[in-house]
Structure 1
Amino acid sequence: MLFTDADAAALYDLLNPWDPEQWPSDGFYDALVMAAGSVLDVGCGTGAMLHLAREHGHPGHLVGLDPDRAALARARRRADIEWVEGTAAAARWDAAFELATMTSHAFQCLVTDAELRASLAAVHAALRRGGRFAFETRHPQARAWEEWNPARASDVVDAAGRSLRVWHETESVIGDVVTFTRTTAAADGTVLRVERTSLRFLDVAMLDAFLADAGFAIEARYGAWDGGPITGASREIITLARRR
């Protein structure tokens, strides 16, 4: 069974539907996007957030940035939004946006100090003075990686009618960097695709140090999507930072 990059992008949308009414995380970002006149979505993936914003009447400048060509091909099904292939660190906008976002824990894909600093500098430059940067990271205290194992596999039927099983499995935890695999298999167990990803789990202090060095001030900080504070049980670090 052939399983292409385009199939993987379509499967992502199937497993992660963007729905602000169902998911509080999506609702959090949707409210910010709809209130901003210009938005840069860094790590936009298949573009679902910006698609919905335009569908709901957003009249402003919407730009999605992502290095994944297959994901952008799905994003480009909507032509009234600007789609750019590239990484956060390579972004070259100058004071063009009121809001920048990184949803779905995309911020954690910035693994090295150099990548973090370059990406934050580029996002800072892309924002107008006073512009806001919204993103979330998994709180390391929740140790989310311990739940990434085949026992938590998802069974789905894709658009082509194929029965698939998808699971994540942690390979290593070295300092604050977790490396894991995502496996997609056919119903008979045949492995179709294995993707390896590393994520960085910054604590609040380290995160804020990087933001401050890049010229951001913390406007709001939450530990849950309902706006609650960070506690000893929080699974998220949700940040709204403002360009100084």
Structure 2
Amino acid sequence: MFSDADAAALYDLLNPWDPARQPEDRFYDDLVMAAESVLDVGCGTGAMLHLAREQGHGGRLVGLDPDRAALDRARRQADVEWVEGTAADARSGADFDLATMTSHAFQCLVTDEEVRASLAAIHGALRQGGQFAFETRHPQARAWEGWRPSNPDDVVDLVDDAGRALRVWHEVDSVAGDVVTFRGSAAEPDGTVLRVDRVSLRFLDVAALNGFLTDAGFEVEAQYGDWHRGPITDDSREIITIARSR
């Protein structure tokens, strides 16, 4: 009733890439446009790299993602290289200037083994001194507490590309240590559920995150608590990191 392709199209509707309006998109857009070669890990439907090319980026742009339906949408733009695979599949020796993981994709690395393998592969794909930019939600903000259908800010009503009226919401199933598992539902306006996707995300704190980065051969160049490059404080909702390959 609601295919993987439908879900990929819905993602674009819910998360339009717009650096002119969204400070998080502008943060990454500035980094991408300044780099000669970019690997976007967890590129999804490819919106960031699509726009970079449209804005005149003339260097190498590569998107990597395990979601085939998302990549099918990304491949509508053929002047970017699209690769199916996980972060741990990033090709060693590619000498990228910049690697990115946007939209909290880093949090999909749930186990220590996934984090270590992914960071090692990303490190290997960068040139020496290359940058890795990504963000995670700061666990102190407990963002998952707002992922519930009773929260009006978490319920979205929209019309998709097929002309269907939809309602989208989230529900948390479990919080186990630093891993939160939740369901994202897409339904008809009368509540008839068309699709449910179950996702687990890891909420690392600053110390644990930086430990993994150091072990993988990265040096933390900068960390911010907001998209305007403010410091991490007791109120920060994000841990935004730029790490450099040693």
Category of TM-score, reference length = shorter chain: over 0.9
CA RMSD of aligned residues (A): 0.6
1:90 maps to 2:106: no
- Counterpart position of 2:206: 204
Q: Residues 112-154 of structure 1: CA distance to partner in whole angstroms, max 9, x if unpaired?
A: 0000000000000000000000000000000000000012210
Q: Could you tell me whether the CA contact under 8 Å between 1:66 and 1:87 is conserved in 2?
A: yes
How high is the TM-score relative to the length of structure 2? 0.98
- Counterpart position of 1:48: 47
- Counterpart position of 2:170: 168
Secondary structure at the aligned position of 2:89 is classed as coil
1:219 CA drift (Å): 0.6
* Partners of 2:176 and 2:86 in 1: CA distance: 24
- Counterpart position of 2:102: 103
Q: Residues 139-172 of structure 1: CA distance to partner in whole angstroms, max 9, x if unpaired?
A: 0000000000012210000111110000011110
1:78 CA drift (Å): 0.2
AA aligned to 2:7 is: A
Q: Residues 15-44 of structure 1: CA distance to partner in whole angstroms, max 9, x if unpaired?
A: 000000100000000000000000000000
| Structure 1 moving runs of 4+ over 2 Å | none
- Counterpart position of 1:134: 133
- Counterpart position of 1:242: 244
- Counterpart position of 1:18: 17
- Counterpart position of 2:197: 195
- How many residues in Structure 1 have an aligned counterpart in Structure 2? 243
Q: Could you tell me whether the CA contact under 8 Å between 1:95 and 1:129 is conserved in 2?
A: no
- Counterpart position of 1:153: 155
1:94 CA drift (Å): 0.9
Most deviating of 150-159 and 88-97: 88-97
* Partners of 1:230 and 1:217 in 2: CA distance: 17
Most deviating of 90-99 and 45-54: 90-99
* Partners of 1:87 and 1:93 in 2: CA distance: 13
1:3 CA drift (Å): 1.1
- Counterpart position of 1:184: 186
Gaps of 5+ in 2: none
* Partners of 1:199 and 1:22 in 2: CA distance: 26
* Partners of 1:93 and 1:36 in 2: CA distance: 19
* Partners of 1:96 and 1:109 in 2: CA distance: 25
* Partners of 1:56 and 1:185 in 2: CA distance: 36
* Partners of 1:207 and 1:197 in 2: CA distance: 20
How high is the TM-score relative to the length of structure 1? 0.99
1:188 CA drift (Å): 1.7
- Counterpart position of 1:77: 76
AA aligned to 1:24 is: P
* Partners of 1:227 and 1:66 in 2: CA distance: 27
* Partners of 1:15 and 1:138 in 2: CA distance: 18
1:93 CA drift (Å): 3.0
AA aligned to 1:39 is: V
* Partners of 2:40 and 2:77 in 1: CA distance: 15
Q: Residues 157-206 of structure 1: CA distance to partner in whole angstroms, max 9, x if unpaired?
A: 01111100000111100000000000000112110000000000000000
1:54 CA drift (Å): 0.1
